[in-house]
Every structure is written in C-alpha cells, then in structure tokens.
Structure 1
Amino acid sequence: MEKLAELKALVETAEKEGAAFYEKNNKAAGTRLRNALQEIKVIATDLRKDVTEKKNAAK
C-alpha cells in the first residue's frame, strides 16, 4: 500500500506541474512533469511486479 500512496502523490505532483506547463508555458514545469511521469512509470512497473509475484505465490 505504500507504493500506491507514493504513486498517488506523484500523480498529484504531475497534475500540478502539467497545469503550470500547459497553462502558463513554464518550461521548467515541463521538465519536472517529465521527471514525475518517469517516476510514475517506474513505480507502476514495480507495483505490477509485486502484484504478479503475490498472485503467483498464492497458487
């Protein structure tokens, strides 16, 4: 559940940075948005692996 909370926080950060980038044309916010999206991808991949391992361990 810790990874889900981290994922949720990153999505909120990405949303804030996305608004700054698209609405205010803040180029630095675009860089922070891309970094947040990359972190989201990494955490989501780790979370998928954990779910698969737990599911397969139950067999």
Structure 2
Amino acid sequence: MKRFEQLKELVDGLEADFAKFYDKENSAAGTRVRKGMQELKNLAQEIRIEVQDIKNKA
C-alpha cells in the first residue's frame, strides 16, 4: 500500500502545476507537469512489476 500512497501524493502534488499550465498558460508549470508525469510513469511501471512478481509467487 505504500506505493499506492506514493502514487496519490505525486498526483496531488501536480494539481497546482496543472492548474497553472492549463488555466494561466504558465510554460514553466508545463515543464514541471511533464517531469511529474514522467515520474508517475516510472512509478507506475515499478508498481506493475512488483504486482506481477507477487502474483507469480502465489
């Protein structure tokens, strides 16, 4: 469950930058969004591998 909490915190942390980028067209916020989304992708992949490993052990 710790990984899921990390995932939620990352998404919640990006909310302000999403608003700044889409509502105020702040390009620096867009860069932060892109970086955060890459981290999200990497974390999601790690979780997928972890889940698969646990599933295969059962």
Report sequence identity in percent. Answer: 45
How much does 1:13 deviate?
1.8
**Structure 2 residues without counterparts, runs of 5 or longer:** none
How much does 1:9 deviate?
0.8
TM-score when normalising by structure 1: 0.91
What letter corresponds to residue 9 of structure 2 in structure 1? A
CA RMSD of aligned residues (A): 0.8
What letter corresponds to residue 46 of structure 2 in structure 1? D
TM-score when normalising by structure 2: 0.92
Residue of structure 1 in register with 2:57 after alignment: 57
User: Segments of 4+ in structure 1 off by > 3 A?
Assistant: none
Task: Number of aligned residue pairs: give it.
Answer: 58
How much does 1:25 deviate?
1.1
Residue of structure 2 in register with 1:20 after alignment: 20
